[in-house]
Amino acid sequence: MKKIFMLINCLILCFSFSLYSQDDASQGEASIKGKKIDKFPFNVYTEKSDRKNHFFASGWMGDFGDLKINDKCTTKPQSGKTCFQVRYSAARKQNVGWSGIYWQNPANNWGTVKGGFDITGAKKLYFYARGEKGGEVVEFKIGGITGDYSDTTINSSGNIELEKTWKLYEIDLSDADLSYIAGGFCFVVLAEANPDGCTFYLDNIQYSDKAEAGSAASGKEAGVGKTDTGKPPKK
């Protein structure tokens, strides 16, 4: 009888400890929030070394040997003095078949340290892109980094076929949990979609609390295939 009583007590203690551990873990996960931003627009990239940039193009992925970048390219920037140039060879140097780069905070953060931002209130991520020749196929994303400190969302533009002229694109964030974002922006290119490689350009990547681009697209809503002649929301 004494042994049965001791066994019951042991089971109760084990069950109680299990509940406590689960509750403690869930509270820990729920408490991970990024540094709350104080105003919009919130910039990912505008100009090389601009102090208003909040993420770093440090997270090289896939066939990283197929990529070359110039983050201070002066070839026809959308605005200002520089834009971000990406050259992709499609050589499959790491035998993966795709390449990409994450803009992270801090640099090289793959969810191992707490460095994300709380961008709650953003409705869209706007960015300008153009291809060297037109026809380049690229996917763009925000969030998606996983680890001890995981992003709270991942949102994608889907594959976009770029044109030779600058166009304003957007990623809808209206239903996204933006309370912790360390992967502020990302692009992915596939060798299958770009068998001869490609070169493309990015500029003025920023989170906005505006649901419509407004002045960013000369009164037109931004989107895939929409022509733009204006400027993004004020930096």
Report pLDDT digits (tens) over 179-204: 999 999 999 999 999 999 999 999 99
| Confidence category of residue 2, pLDDT binned at 50, 70, 90 | very low
Contact 129, 189 (CB under 8 A): no
Q: Which pair of tokens denotes residue 172?
A: 């809808």
Flag whether pLDDT at 64 surpasses 90.
yes
C-beta atoms surrounding 44 within 10 Å: 24
Looking only at the bridges linking them, the beta strands covering 117-118 and 35-36 are parallel
Q: Hey, is 11 helix, strand or coil?
A: helix
- Which residues, including other chains, have CB under 8 Å from residue 23's CB and lie 6 or more apart? none
- Fold category of 36-217 in CATH: Jelly Rolls (2.60.120)
Residue-wise pLDDT for 79-117, tens only, equals 999 999 999 999 999 999 999 999 999 999 999 999 999
- Which residue matches tokens 């070394």? 49
Q: Which DSSP helix (H) or strand (E) runs through 9? A: helix 2-30
Closest CA to 191 of 102, 89, 94: 89
Contact 78, 128 (CB under 8 A): yes
Q: pTM score, two decimals?
A: 0.81
The domain segmentation of the chain, as residue ranges, is: 36-217
Residue-wise pLDDT for 125-179, tens only, equals 999 999 999 999 999 999 999 999 999 999 999 999 999 999 999 999 999 999 9
Omega cis (within 30) before 233: no
Omega cis (within 30) before 106: yes
Report the alpha-carbon distance of residue 182 to residue 154 in Å, rounded: 11
What mean pLDDT do residues 25-47 have? 80
Report the alpha-carbon distance of residue 141 to residue 208 in Å, rounded: 15
